[in-house]
Amino acid sequence: MKLVKYILLFASSLSLVGCFEKGSLNRWIDNPTANEIKLKIDNTELTIPARSGIDYEFDFGKHTLTYNNETLTFVVKPAKLGTTSFINPTQSNYFVRSIILAAPNTNNEEYEKVARKELRNIPVIIDGVRREFTLPAKLINDVIIDRYDNNWDYSYDEELPKEEADLSKNTTNFEIKRKLYRQNDYLKYLLGDEVRDKDEFIFPYEPQKFEKIKKYSFAKINLNEITCEPGREYMKNLLDNWEHLFTLKGGDFASSYNKLVSDDENHKNSESEKLCTQENDPNKTYHKNLTKFLKSINDVRDVHLYVIN
């Protein structure tokens, strides 16, 4: 009998664990510079050593980053298809280098066609003169750097495989792999030991003021534009629910967010269009506003962190 009670108690505890939403997410804060930096996440002061970083646990919800007397607001949230990301408070330069692997029987013309698509003009300063180099790489220096937007296969702390992938004759002729580099490591890859004076060849460091950084915002909805009263009421409740979400933290935020983006909720949103017909909304004002709002939510569905106003 005691064993049965124990099993029931254990099963009950497991079911309770399943009821609680994960309320946080760990993200790396990187400092690739030659000096230690000091910053604040919300009210927590952090010191990050030079050429290093720290792993920081963020509750889901709104946060602030304060660095160099500037403050940025961002959201940390669940994301079903979310990938890795990290925070770059100094807006240092990183590079995603494209590596094209070609099957042995690939001709040069085909290879060059693929290679051209990977080329970008990247600003450099050589002997004090600014110019552009065309390189098979992408320059990124955002405060939040997300793999979802930049699509790398190997991070800056991962080594490339020593042997290139052997492309099967039954697959495509090409495979593109991408590696993320900190600026100093990318320079070493490009130049080796050829440049002894680092000032001979540098990438410009051009951080933006936090206030000028591109920020995400929900689509602005003017309820008075919606001529269909039932649709206007539904939209008001929808906006209220999303506004309330950003007052929450941790597991409460996760639970509310996951409900708002659930299949059931998406179905309700879709069905709500039946509230407005040709008779009570001939100009489809509800459809237009609902579509605009849902698209703005979709834009950040698959990322864990994004900057907001």
In a domain, 8, yes or no: no
In a domain, 71, yes or no: no
Beta bridge mates, 306: 75
In a domain, 37, yes or no: no
One domain, residues 108 and 173: yes
User: Are the C-beta atoms of residues 102 and 111 closer than 8 Å to each other?
Assistant: yes
Question: Domain range holding 103?
Answer: 94-206
User: Are the C-beta atoms of residues 307 and 215 closer than 8 Å to each other?
Assistant: yes
Alpha-carbon gap, residue 296 to 220, rounded angstroms: 10
Please give the pLDDT value at position 167. Answer: 47
Single residue among 206, 231, 251 that ends a domain in this structure:
206
One domain, residues 202 and 100: yes
DSSP-assigned letters across all residues of 116-151: HHT-EEEEEEETTEEEEEEESEEEE--SEEEHHHH-
In a domain, 216, yes or no: no
In a domain, 141, yes or no: yes
Please give the pLDDT value at position 173. Answer: 76
Other C-beta atoms closer than 10 Å to the C-beta of 89 total 25
Please give the pLDDT value at position 160. Answer: 82
Single residue among 206, 239, 261 that ends a domain in this structure:
206
One domain, residues 178 and 271: no
Q: How far is CA 201 from the centre of its chain?
A: 30
Please give the pLDDT value at position 20. Answer: 53
| Adjacency order of strands within the sheet including 61-67 | 44-48, 37-41, 61-67, 70-76, 305-308
In a domain, 24, yes or no: no
One domain, residues 195 and 236: no
Please give the pLDDT value at position 198. Answer: 55
Alpha-carbon gap, residue 242 to 181, rounded angstroms: 37
Give the DSSP H/E element, type plus range, for residue 190. helix 183-191
Alpha-carbon gap, residue 305 to 309, rounded angstroms: 13
In a domain, 64, yes or no: no
The tens-digit pLDDT sequence of the chain (309 residues) is 444 444 344 344 444 444 456 899 999 999 999 999 999 999 999 999 999 999 999 999 999 999 999 999 999 999 988 889 999 999 999 999 999 887 777 788 888 888 899 999 999 999 889 999 999 999 999 999 999 999 999 999 998 876 554 544 445 678 889 999 999 999 999 887 655 555 678 999 999 999 999 999 999 999 999 999 999 999 999 999 999 999 999 999 999 999 999 999 999 999 999 999 999 999 999 999 999 999 999 999 999 999 998
Number of domains in the chain: 2
One domain, residues 139 and 169: yes
Single residue among 206, 236, 260 that ends a domain in this structure:
206
Please give the pLDDT value at position 199. Answer: 60
One domain, residues 174 and 129: yes
At which residue do the structure tokens 């949230």 appear?
Answer: 77
One domain, residues 127 and 155: yes
Give the DSSP H/E element, type plus range, for residue 106. none
One domain, residues 171 and 232: no
